[in-house]
Chain A
């Protein structure tokens, strides 16, 4: 029994012309780390909103099909119940600051206050979450005084602290420095290993290949391809459809033409590239 089960999900926002998601079928098992890739306008963010219950509960519009998470159906649930199981962080960190809190510590406690976590437990959970994402030194800063990358870490932490069963992340590292990005992928991987299911929209192919269990390529609201990261991210189909690829993949593909890459499979990660190019 899959932890996430999407059956024929089709959705159109009230103001868009055509459907943004078309007949999406998707199963994800518990503790799996799935990465969603695709060009702008492919429906990645809408898929995130659908998993997190905001499509259709918040946005309205025309929805058909069924979304099931942990045996519960989105259509038979209310948004306030749904979000207890499913956490969402999205791209623009500034708009994710509640605006009601004056320090990062308070900001992180906001969600726990809402769901009635006792004060002592709240403090422990906030401190643990801050340590996990490496923002303990920001505890007393105003969330508004932080850089975009730091705010993104706060946004991610504010969801992790809620301990959702399913974590939905929409480009959570877009404003982070490179090593910060890698660290966040590492944190998310660890959460998955502890049993949290993760769906993460990202562009950074090298880290997707390194950390995710599976990749789903979306295009124009449909699943173009899905499978193991190496299999999907090296496929010619992606390049033909305007997806980005890692430099290891593009370079090896070029090298293959010149007879300098002799393996059957193209690489996505550094290790795979080293393996294939080694004399």
Chain B
């Protein structure tokens, strides 16, 4: 399911022009990270993917559906969106009910719901917490419940807004694992993140936004190597990329394996 964005512009009622002409195509099964400074328009952009925001001009087409013509509830069958703060979406008495909420809204059969929920809970390591009230869990686990409740909807496209904020190393590892599994299933994963090292290690394509426009778009290594351009949107290259540059390596490296190969 492709995402096609043409000349997308958006202005908030306050007069803030958040998106100033975005053109993008994201193919089915791509793993895309969106980076950029605070206020660059990252969240505004992805909220167009599931119709929460409608273009002021231009268009957003999700697998043939023009988001301007479909309700958010309808688009939810194609695009899952994990909000930054889990406390803004959790409400059920127990984790199992919470995770089933999305797939039930989408009207799947009971068997399918059970299967999807089971898979989502296994993927997020929540199996032993099915009966727990989400609010008795630590913020870390609440985040995993929020992830599971979207993954269980089995949408072709999954969006994560700042999934690693406030998470410790162990949980960042779990989230990376979830993204890798979604990739194997052929899902499109789009993630907003400030964590550039996380971005380098888990995504193949990076889009850097700056002041409502696409500053850079391309293969991770290609984009994250452009230190000066990235600085315009307050992003540093990954640690290993900076190290490679300082050591005078010919190729841009972003991950550990690449770095090892380059120095041996």
Interface assignment of B172: CB less than 8 Å from any CB of chain A = yes
> At the interface, yes or no: A32 with Cβ under 8 Å from chain B?
no
Please indicate the chain B residues that have their CB under 8 angstroms from the CB of A273 in the complex.
243
Query: Taking the complex as formed, is B109 at the interface, i.e. its CB lies under 8 A from any CB of chain A?
Result: no
B261 CB, min distance to chain A CBs, angstroms: 11
B-contact bits for A123-165, CB 8 A (1 contact / 0 none) = 0000000000000000000000101111000000000000000
Given contacts A270-B243, A273-B243, whether A145 and B14 have CB atoms under 8 Å apart is yes
Contact A247/B263 with A147-B38, A148-B38, A174-B166 known, Cβ cut-off 8 Å: no
B239–A260 CB distance below 8 A: no
Contact A91 B166 (CB under 8 A): yes
- Tell me, rounded to whole Å, the shortest Cβ–Cβ distance linking A18 to chain B: 14
Shortest distance from the beta carbon of B113 to any chain A beta carbon, whole Å: 30
In the assembled complex, the CB of B152 is this many whole angstroms from the nearest CB of chain A, namely 24
> Is B3 an interface position by the 8 A CB rule?
no
A247 touches B169 (CB 8 A): no
Contacts of A203 in B (CB 8 A): 168-169
B239-251 vs A, CB cutoff 8 Å, 1 = contact: the mask equals: 1101100110000
Give 1 or 0 for each of B194-209: 1 = CB within 8 Å of chain A CB: 1011000000000000
Kindly identify, within residues 220 to 264 of chain B, every residue whose CB is under 8 Å from any CB belonging to chain A: 231, 233-236, 238-240, 242-243, 246-247, 256, 259-260, 263-264
B89 contacts the other chain (Cβ, under 8 Å)? no
Report if A237 contacts B (CB, 8 A).
no
Give bound CA distance, A274 to B244, whole Å.
9
Minimum CB distance partner of A44 in chain B = B168
Chain B's closest residue to A203 (CB) is B168
Taking a contact as CB atoms under 8 Å apart, the answer to whether A175 and B38 are in contact is yes
- A147-B38, A171-B166, A176-B194 given; A247·B138 CB < 8 A: no
Query: A residues within 8 A CB of B138?
Result: 40-41
- Complex CA distance for A141 and B76, rounded to whole angstroms: 34
* With contact pairs A39-B168, A179-B234, A246-B239 given, residues A255 and B260 touching in the complex (Cβ less than 8 Å): yes
**Which of B93-146 touch A at CB < 8 Å?**
138-140
The CA of A206 and the CA of B236, in the complex, are separated in Å by: 12
Q: A39-B170, A150-B39 are in contact. Are A179 and B243 (CB under 8 A)?
A: no
User: Whole-angstrom distance from the CB of A251 to the nearest CB of chain B?
Assistant: 5
Known: A242-B168, A248-B239, A277-B243. A260 touches B263 (CB 8 A): yes
| Chain B residues closer than 8 Å to A251, beta-carbon distance | 240, 243, 256, 259-260
With A150-B39, A178-B234: A244-B263 Cβ-Cβ less than 8 Å:
no
Query: Which A residues are in CB contact (< 8 Å) with B243?
Result: 248, 251, 270, 273-274, 277
Tell me the smallest distance from the CB of B203 to a CB of chain A, in Å.
Answer: 16
B162 within 8 Å of A (CB atoms): yes
Closest to B243 in A: A273
B140 touches A270 (CB 8 A): no
The answer, yes or no, to whether B36 is at the interface (CB within 8 Å) is yes
> Chain B residues in contact with chain A, CB under 8 A?
14, 36-39, 84, 138-140, 162, 165-172, 194, 196-197, 231, 233-236, 238-240, 242-243, 246-247, 256, 259-260, 263-264
Chain A residues with CB under 8 Å of chain B are 38-41, 91, 145, 147-150, 171, 174-182, 203, 206, 242-248, 250-251, 254-255, 258, 260, 270, 273-274, 277-278
- Closest 6 interchain pairs by CB? A244-B169, A149-B38, A179-B234, A247-B239, A177-B234, A39-B168
